[in-house]
C-alpha cells in the first residue's frame, strides 16, 4: 500500500514507464466541479518531455482520457479514473538495464525489496510515474478554485548547480516562469542556466539544482498537527518526487544562523487582519497555515542517467561498466517544476477539505 496519497482527496496512481499506460484514480473529489480533459491536458503538456532543446527528446504524446466520475462536464462525487497511454516506448533502448544495476537508480533496491523488477525504462521507478500525480493535481486545482478562491501556486527553478536566480516569491507569475525553457523567471540567469545545461549534456554529464515554490492566498487554518502538519505533508510530498534530496520551508537551513530575536515573525494588524511583519516561518506556524505566502525549496540531485561510463555490478554480482544510451534529461529541473506545483496542489487540496470539519 504505497501508491496512495491524501486523506480525503485520496489518489491512487499506477503504471510503469513502458507498460500499456499510466494513470490515477481520485476518490473523494467533491461533486459539481466543472472538469474536462482539457483541464488535465494542459498540465500534462507542461510536464511531458520533448518540449525544448535542453530536455529529453522523447516524444511522449501523453493524451489523457477521463474514464469515470465526470458526467456532463461535472464531477459526480464518485471516483475519477484518468488514464494516459504510453505511445513512444522503445524497450530495446534499455536492454543494458536487464542485468546491470544503474548507479544511483532504483534498480538494485527494487530487486532487494520485491525480488523482481520491470527493467524497461525504470518501470515504476521512472519519472514517467509522475504523470498520474500531475493529472490528479489538475483536478485538485479545480477543487481549490472553489474551496480556496484566489489561491495561487507558482514553482520555478531557483538554482542550477552554482547558478542562483533572484526571484521575489510574493510577486512571481506563471507567465514569467513559462517565458523561458529552463523555467527560471530571472531572465538573465536563465540564459546562463541554459548554456550550462547544454554544456553539461555535451560532456555526457548532468546537473541538479533547487526549485522554489510559493503558494499565495492560502487560507489560515490548513494543516493538522501533530503529525500531518502542513510542512510535514509538503516535505513528504516533495521527497516522494524522483531525484529529490532535500526540503526546506521559510528560512530553512539558513534560518539556523539567526538568533531567535532576529528570526521571529512579529505580528501586526494590516488591512484589518492579523499579519506577520516578516515571513521567516514561510507561511506555516505550528504546522498550520497563517495566511502569509507559503514558500519552500526542494533540492534535486543531478540526473543519475549519464552518458559517461560508470562502474557497477550485475544482478548476478559480476562487476561491469555501464554507459547510458536512450533519451535522457541532462537536468530534470525544468520538467520538475510542474511536478512540484502538482504535489503542492494535492497537499493543499486535501488539507482544505480536511479543514471543512472544523467549520461545521
Residues 159-188 that bind a copy of itself (CB under 8 A): 159, 161-162
Site for a copy of itself in 132-161 (CB under 8 A): 146-147, 159, 161
| CB distance 200 to 54 below 8 Å | no
40/57 Cα distance (integer angstroms):
22
3-state secondary structure of 318: coil
7 lies in the site for a copy of itself, by CB under 8 A: yes
Q: Which of residues 284-343 bind a copy of itself (CB under 8 A)?
A: 284-291, 299-306, 308, 310-313, 317, 319
Interface with a copy of itself includes 121 (CB under 8 A)? no
Cα–Cα distance between 291 and 274 in angstroms, integer?
Answer: 9
Residue 246 in the binding site for a copy of itself (CB under 8 A): yes
Min separation Cβ 215 and a copy of itself, Å: 15
Of 207, 218, 340, 348, the one binding a copy of itself by CB under 8 A: 207
Minimum distance, C-beta of residue 175 to a copy of itself, in the bound complex (Å): 26
Q: Taking CB under 8 A as the rule, does residue 190 contact a copy of itself?
A: no
Instruction: Please report whether residue 200 would count as binding a copy of itself according to CB under 8 A.
Output: yes
Rg of the Cα atoms in the chain = 21
* Cα 357 from Cα 360, distance rounded (Å): 6
Tell me if 189 contacts a copy of itself by CB under 8 A. Answer: no
Asked if 65 interacts with a copy of itself (CB under 8 A), we say: yes
Residues touching a copy of itself, count (CB under 8 A): 152
Q: How far is CA 55 from the centre of its chain?
A: 16
Backbone angles phi, psi at 148, to 5 degrees: -140, 70
Q: Which of residues 42-61 bind a copy of itself (CB under 8 A)?
A: none
Per-residue CA distances from 293 to 110, 152, 168, 279, 329 (Å)? 38, 10, 11, 8, 32
Amino acid at each position: 500500500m504505497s501508491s496512495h496519497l491524501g486523506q480525503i482527496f485520496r489518489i491512487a496512481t499506477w503504471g510503469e514507464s513502458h507498460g500499456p499506460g499510466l494513470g490515477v484514480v481520485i476518490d473523494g473529489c467533491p461533486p459539481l466541479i466543472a472538469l474536462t480533459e482539457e483541464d488535465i491536458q494542459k498540465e500534462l503538456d507542461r510536464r511531458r518531455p520533448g518540449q525544448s532543446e535542453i530536455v529529453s527528446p522523447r516524444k511522449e504524446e501523453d493524451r489523457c482520457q477521463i474514464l469515470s466520475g465526470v458526467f456532463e462536464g461535472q464531477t459526480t462525487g464518485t471516483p475519477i479514473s484518468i488514464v494516459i497511454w504510453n505511445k513512444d516506448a522503445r524497450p530495446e533502448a534499455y536492454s543494458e538495464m536487464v542485468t546491470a544495476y544503474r548507479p544511483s537508480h532504483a534498480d538494485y533496491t527494487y530487486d532487494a525489496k520485491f525480488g523482481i523488477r520491470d527493467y524497461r525504462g525504470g518501470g515504476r521507478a521512472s519519472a514517467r510515474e509522475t504523470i498520474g500525480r500531475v493529472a490528479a493535481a489538475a483536478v485538485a486545482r479545480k477543487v481549490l478554485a472553489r474551496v480556496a478562491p484566489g489561491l495561487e501556486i507558482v514553482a520555478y527553478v531557483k538554482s542550477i548547480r552554482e547558478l542562483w536566480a533572484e526571484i521575489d516569491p510574493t510577486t512571481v507569475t506563471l507567465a514569467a516562469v513559462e517565458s523561458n525553457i529552463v523555467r527560471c523567471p530571472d531572465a538573465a540567469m536563465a540564459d546562463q542556466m541554459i548554456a550550462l545545461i547544454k554544456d553539461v549534456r555535451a560532456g555526457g554529464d548532468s546537473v541538479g539544482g533547487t526549485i522554489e515554490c510559493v503558494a499565495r492566498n492560502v487560507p489560515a487554518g490548513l494543516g493538522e498537527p501533530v503529525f500531518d502538519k502542513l510542512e510535514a505533508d509538503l516535505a513528504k510530498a516533495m521527497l516522494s518526487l524522483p531525484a529529490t534530496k532535500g526540503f526546506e520551508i521559510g528560512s530553512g537551513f539558513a534560518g539556523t544562523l539567526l538568533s531567535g530575536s532576529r528570526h521571529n515573525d512579529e505580528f501586526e494588524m494590516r488591512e484589518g487582519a492579523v499579519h506577520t511583519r516578516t515571513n521567516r516561518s514561510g507561511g506555516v506556524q505550528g504546522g498550520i497555515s497563517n495566511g502569509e505566502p507559503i514558500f519552500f525549496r526542494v533540492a534535486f540531485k543531478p540526473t543519475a542517467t549519464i552518458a559517461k561510463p560508470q562502474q557497477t555490478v550485475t544482478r548476478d554480482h559480476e562487476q561491469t561498466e555501464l554507459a547510458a544510451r536512450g533519451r535522457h534529461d541532462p537536468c530534470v529541473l525544468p520538467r520538475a517544476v510542474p511536478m512540484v506545483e502538482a504535489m503542492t496542489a494535492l497537499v493543499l487540496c486535501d488539507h482544505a477539505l480536511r479543514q471543512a470539519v472544523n467549520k461545521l
